Amino acid sequence: MGKILAVLSVFVLIGCQSGPAQLPAPEPVVKAQDTKGTPDERAYQLLKQLTLEEKVQLVGGDGYRTCPIERLGIGTFYMSDGPQGVRNGPGNPPPRACAFPAGVALAATWDIDMAAAYGRAIGLEARARGSHFQLGPGLNICRVPVNGRNFEYFGEDPYLASVIAVDWVKQCAAQGVVPTIKHFAANNQESNRTSVDSQVDERTLQEIYLPAFRKAVIEGGNVAVMCSYNRLNGCYASNNDWLLNLTLKKLWGFKGLVMSDWGASHSVTDLATGLDLEMPWGENLSAKNIEAALAAGTIEPSDLDGAVHRILRTAAAAGWLDAGWEQKNSALPMDSPESAKVALDVAQASIVLLKNDRDTLPLDRSKLQTIVVLGPNSSSAPGSVPINIGGGGSGDVTPFDGRIPEADYFQGITRAAGNNVKVIHLPMPEDADQAVFATFANARTAPNGPPGLTLTVEVTGEGPPVSLPPSVQTSVNITWERGQLPFNVPAGRDATFAWSGVLVSPEESDWVVRTAGRPVITVDGRTIENTNGQMVHLQENRPTPIQIKYRALANPPTRGGRGGGGLLIKAGLQPVASAIPDLSPVKTADAAIVCVGLNRAIESEGRDRSFDLPALQQYLVSRVAALNPRTIVVNNSGAAVGMTGWCQGVAAILQAWYLGQEGGIAIGNVLFGDVNPSGRLCSTFDRTFEDNPAFAYYPGTTPPNGGYPIEPYTEGIFYGYRGYDKANKDPFFPFGYGLSYTTFQLSNLKTKKAGSNVKVSLDVRNTGRRAGAEVVQIYVGQENPPLPRPLRELKGFSKVTLDSDQTKRVEITLPRNAFAYWSPDKKDWTVDSGGTFSIEAAVSERDIVLKDTITIK
């Protein structure tokens, strides 16, 4: 050991570069391409030839790739975000690719065949570009609707998420691409994601937050796992021995590699507690740190060897070490028609019809003359990617230019309407106009003070105290170069800028807040959330206090916390009258389609969002509905948004999630009935955020003595629909809910035991006049359980497509684990002998159609 450490002491690792004093490595006995046997055997053949320096290189990344060991023929393995398509990868500039619908949209299809097609298509997209690891799918559970990354995930139910995940992962891996399931584990909010301690009891983890990961690991083939930023029960996920070693590797038998999220590693001891690869760089798993840790005994040589072995085993299992293997398959098209078809199929099957009064939908081309399409998500500037194509962050994919028109809702509706229907678009006034930010309208430093706001600057960070005099600013519009903030802030220092004063309007009026850079704005003592697009009501000549606050970093982070920082801050007020279009065409139109919701600027990695839609959008929907009784709302979001304020006034609502590059075509086809909506909610839709079972505990609190924030999952297993059932409270729209343009009937439920399984069968009949698909949902509940259990839990489903008046017999098998719960005493899954269970066939979690009981011995 001493001789090896002496060699390492003169070795410096920066990216994949070694220092000039490194001693020459021995000649290889067997190169990677000449190794034989199983993936484990091939990995061992390489491992025993590696020097310590080479091992260290393999456990630290190099941006979006691993470091090669050319001496042994071990190549560079490239990584691409993410869950919704290949966002980046080998080459510069980053490649364009198919922008698939968001993960939540895939889950809303309730279709395992589509999940398989989705995973296969993403695998082929990666192969066309030469990517080895696809950093997705995301398998975190929708615990609260405001999580900024819910759109990437598969909803609130662990069974649905597990089934969708395993087919996605299995088919992606079959293409020679390693899917990287993330974020492991209990990363269910973006608020304080890099510091928060998710405090979750073991039973809740095993029953709710781990099953999708477990199924993907055990059944998904050659996969990798990305650990999350947060702490779990007091310990960072990347340094959590219980999570990574005891649960993932020992209990589940996982043989793949564990990588950190970008910048999520915190210590060299991560190597001992289960981390195998630090991304994007080997900062903690550096040569210097590993040398010191080996000398101190805080890590063992076997820890390093185990990590390297897993990396090489993953490569061998994927075929990347084979002679002649080329990850980039030039025979595959970059702009793939097959991928586009999958994206369209998923988009159309994911749309959920939430409301359809008076059979407003589908629209009948023969009875329409004029349709008005409007709203902030209705269209985009020519040639620009629609902002509602997906959420923000590593799930944001840019499609090819030729696909952009297919994503645009207005163009898709126009295409579906045909030549005999006039489709009028009422674009929103350009809210990025610099004139909006020229001055903060009606602002004064004091009730009788001069125009403008008083700016104060608090300099923070290391260094001597700095005193900067207040100044009066007539606009809130600043930019800065990295490293140097404005207003004479010393170079390299951070600062908090605060503009304060009053708003005084000569008449009672409504104003829209316009911002860039996401400042915190407080008006009349009320902090405005989701700031851009919110509204401020001013009374005539009444001074209304206002403060705009922004903490600016001289050097915003570029990794390890994507979604934060910025080099721009703007804020302004715009009169409501100039913030919405002239609505006069709405009065005479046969229908009005209002496209609202969130987008990649609002719902994004790195931050959570508000529950309600921006106030201007709510105002617009209500105004349009008052003018036209056939108002149809199309909403984009990754989970529930507040609808109670405007739902009653509209005729129909489509929940459209984020539909990717084919979203415009999908919306048009569903609105006009060329496709019958068959999506079902994969998360409960709350009336208010306060109704959500986890609301009281989110987003956690910081202890009085300081330290990191703590988020207790006090609701335990009773979150989502389970929590609503326990509280005997009705949600706004229940889990599994969705309407159709036809009707269905379930009948003849039969249950029978088949060994350790229970087979459930029933008839499904289409009783309407159109072809369509129904999602048969099977829920299981235990009567008089010894431990508290949910009233019912989803344990099986089947999506059935039927022609008018067609009947099919559906059979769903419930394995023994469908009746099990995690016993904290036994530390294992348990089925109570002699337990009586209800078997319910339903079309939503609150619409139980048929019921039977069975006793499990």
825 belongs to the catalytic site: no
Cis peptide before 834, with omega less than 30 degrees from 0? no
* Number of other residues whose CB lies within 10 A of the CB of residue 566: 15
Strands 821-823 and 509-516: unpaired
CA-closest candidate to residue 162, choices 818, 819, 821, 837: 818
The DSSP letter of residue 245 is I
What is the H or E stretch that residue 11 is in? Answer: none
What is the rounded CA–CA span in Å between residue 454 and residue 499?
5
DSSP string, 364-411: -GGG-SEEEEESTTS--STTSPPTTSS-BSTT--PPPGGGHHHH-HHH
Q: What is the dihedral of CA 215, 221, 226, 231, to 10 degrees?
A: 30
Question: Can you tell me whether residue 345 is helix, strand or coil?
Answer: helix
Q: In a 3-state reduction of DSSP, which class is residue 490? A: coil
Rounded CA-CA distance 698/705 in Å is 20
- Among all chains, which residue has been given the structure tokens 């590059």? 661
| Residue 163, token pair as written in the block | 């089934």
* List 167, 261, 303, 686, catalytic entry: 261
Interior/surface letters 755-775, b for 16+ CB within 10 angstroms, e for the rest? eeebebebebbbebeeebbbb
Strands 79-81 vs 133-135: parallel, antiparallel or unpaired:
parallel
Name 664's Cβ contacts closer than 8 Å, sequence gap at least 6: 386, 405, 406, 407, 408, 409, 410, 411, 412, 413, 415
Q: Interior CA angle at 204 toward 139 and 197, to 5°? A: 75
The three state secondary structure string of 511-558 is EEEEEECCCEEEECCEEECCCCCCEEEECECCCEEEEEEEEECCCCCC
Listing DSSP states for 85-139 in one string gives: S--S-SSSSPPP---PPPHHHHHHHT-HHHHHHHHHHHHHHHHHHT-SEEE--B-
Neighbours of 787 (CB within 10 A): 14
Residue 205 C-beta-side C-alpha neighbours within 13 Å: 19
What is the rounded CA–CA span in Å between residue 176 and residue 94?
21
Which value, in Å, is the radius of gyration of the alpha carbons in the chain?
28
Residues 6 or more apart in contact with residue 851 via CB below 8 angstroms? 749, 838, 839, 840, 841
**Three-class SS state of 255:** coil
Identify the sign of the CA torsion 120, 125, 128, 132.
negative
Query: Rounded to an integer, what distance in angstroms lies between the CA atom of residue 518 and that of residue 553?
Result: 13
List, in sequence order, every residue forming a beta bridge with 52; answer none if it has no partner. none
Asked if 255 contacts 218 with a C-beta cutoff of 8 angstroms, the reply is no
Query: Catalytic residue numbers?
Result: 261
